[in-house]
Chain A
């Protein structure tokens, strides 16, 4: 059951400059754990020290926010896309 995780621009430097990665995972949490195992530098950008998802990082399965599903226990199925959406502030003045 491969799911695609889309890595946002600000986090790509910590993910070997990749823009996405595919993992076999049954839940969002499992996919993110596999992602941060492969790219350890990403971990502190996604999770707090006690392993909680950071509040300025939102995670979506397809177009739905996991906060309104089952959070990290949200089940994933083959072909799902997980998006990591961090807050960005730029307007470039």
Chain B
């Protein structure tokens, strides 16, 4: 059910050019000439873009093409929300940032890049974690909210805040080489809770940090979100309301599913039960965000203790529970059994020996130790902090990834 774009002027009358009387300078006319000569944009559309206020939640993988294209297109005011700092592992996909930005707050690095791209736009930065306490205040001045976050609590928070304020939510999400894009929060359209009333329990769906992501994928999905945002502002074309666009980069296939408004939706249904923002971390479970702490408490050994015991010649069996492709990056010469294969390969282990299990960060190996101890391998320890901590505390020649 492809629906015609509904003009945003109904949502924020202040944004209409007729009321603000804005115009373009000669320099802006030159800058936007390839828009201006298109009848679908033209002067009217470019002024709508200039008067539009778009808030980007997250300046990471999805936020990178979003920020770049929306700034280049002349969206007059861009808000950037992110509390993170740029790190080296971001550069593989977060193309707003350069190597010299590593260590800087993402919103500041993004502001500098976008201001350089287009000095005529206003960029507001919010170097903060979006919470139930600040979301409505941050959102209220913007016409369109674009969700490029990386965790379930923030996605439900963004959805609920958009519904409460009546603002469209341009949604995009990615995993490894698959993406999902749609537009939530328009009148008569579905919301995120219509699609998924509840988040998955913590730990069941891996994060990007665990699952990896092909660097170009957020570029494509974020660019589709940017296109939908611009169409909403222009009031042109057919947008993704009521349609979930699925992108499979490996098969290079786009598919489309129908999204219906759930009449019983607790957020946007006729008998709504949620009338204010809630505690989204509680709603999603403690481990809803990325880089969660190990959820099982198991006996541990620190990298330094392990090193001194190995140097002493203690008989320790090193069990590596990562995947083979991770083993190729670096290893501690352990015996490789990926966590998922452990139950059926447990016979390869000797319960009379002391076993030290490790992974990259200590999380998967904690699950392995928990499993092994329950299976009777009582002398099993978890290497605290995994191979990352080993690199920090014992042997910096082991690369971190």
| Contact yes or no, A55 B149, CB < 8 A | no
Q: Which residues on the A side are within 8 Å of B178 (C-beta)?
A: 8-9, 88
| Contact yes or no, A93 B84, CB < 8 A | yes
Q: Report if B155 contacts A (CB, 8 A).
A: yes
| Contact yes or no, B257 A63, CB < 8 A | yes
User: A60 to B256, alpha carbons, bound, how many Å?
Assistant: 11
| Contact yes or no, A10 B340, CB < 8 A | no
User: A8 to B250, alpha carbons, bound, how many Å?
Assistant: 12
Q: Report if A83 contacts B (CB, 8 A).
A: yes
Do A92 and B197 form a contact, CB below 8 Å, given A65-B258, A83-B255?
no
CB contacts under 8 Å to B, within A54-89, are 54-56, 58, 60, 63-65, 67-68, 83, 85-89
Q: Report if A38 contacts B (CB, 8 A).
A: no
Q: Report if A45 contacts B (CB, 8 A).
A: yes
Q: Report if A51 contacts B (CB, 8 A).
A: no
Neighbour of A92 across the interface among B150, B246, B257, CB < 8 A:
B150
| Contact yes or no, B173 A90, CB < 8 A | yes
Q: Which residues on the A side are within 8 Å of B255 (C-beta)?
A: 63, 83
User: A19 to B198, alpha carbons, bound, how many Å?
Assistant: 25
User: A13 to B204, alpha carbons, bound, how many Å?
Assistant: 12
Q: Which residues on the B side are within 8 Å of A83 (C-beta)?
A: 246, 255, 257
Q: Which stretch from B34-42, B56-64, B359-367, B373-381 is at the chain A interface?
A: B56-64
| Contact yes or no, B58 A93, CB < 8 A | yes
Do A87 and B58 form a contact, CB below 8 Å, given A60-B257, A63-B258?
no
| Contact yes or no, A87 B205, CB < 8 A | yes
Interface string of B245-283 (1 = CB under 8 A from A): 010000100011111101000000000000000000000
Do A92 and B218 form a contact, CB below 8 Å, given A65-B260, A68-B260?
yes
| Contact yes or no, A91 B257, CB < 8 A | no
Q: How far is the CB of B31 from chain A (nearest CB, A)?
A: 29
Q: Which residues on the B side are within 8 Å of A68 (C-beta)?
A: 260
| Contact yes or no, B174 A58, CB < 8 A | no
| Contact yes or no, B58 A10, CB < 8 A | no
From A85, which residue of chain B is reached at the shortest CB distance? B257
Q: Which stretch from B3-11, B206-214, B226-234, B324-332 is at the chain A interface?
A: B206-214
Q: Report if B370 contacts A (CB, 8 A).
A: no
Neighbour of B150 across the interface among A67, A86, A89, CB < 8 A:
A89
Q: Which residues on the B side are within 8 Å of A87 (C-beta)?
A: 152, 195-196, 199-200, 205
Q: How far is the CB of A2 from chain B (nearest CB, A)?
A: 19
Q: Report if B142 contacts A (CB, 8 A).
A: no
Q: Which residues on the A side are within 8 Å of B340 (C-beta)?
A: 13
Q: Which residues on the A side are within 8 Å of B149 (C-beta)?
A: 89, 91, 93
| Contact yes or no, A88 B84, CB < 8 A | no
User: A43 to B298, alpha carbons, bound, how many Å?
Assistant: 27
Do A93 and B59 form a contact, CB below 8 Å, given A56-B200, A68-B260, A87-B196?
yes
User: A67 to B59, alpha carbons, bound, how many Å?
Assistant: 35
Interface string of B143-161 (1 = CB under 8 A from A): 0000111111001000000
Do A93 and B211 form a contact, CB below 8 Å, given A10-B175, A68-B260, A88-B173?
no
User: A9 to B40, alpha carbons, bound, how many Å?
Assistant: 37
User: A88 to B172, alpha carbons, bound, how many Å?
Assistant: 10
From A56, which residue of chain B is reached at the shortest CB distance? B200
Q: Which residues on the B side are within 8 Å of A90 (C-beta)?
A: 61, 150, 173-175, 207-208, 211, 213
Q: Which residues on the A side are within 8 Å of B320 (C-beta)?
A: none
Beyond A89-B150, A90-B211, list 16 extra A-B contacts (CB 8 Å). Answer: A56-B196, A60-B257, A60-B258, A63-B256, A64-B258, A83-B255, A87-B200, A88-B174, A91-B60, A91-B150, A92-B61, A92-B62, A92-B150, A93-B58, A93-B61, A93-B149
The 16 listed contacts between A and B (C-beta, < 8 Å) are A8-B178, A13-B340, A55-B198, A58-B196, A63-B256, A63-B258, A85-B244, A85-B246, A87-B152, A89-B151, A91-B58, A91-B150, A91-B174, A92-B150, A93-B63, A93-B150
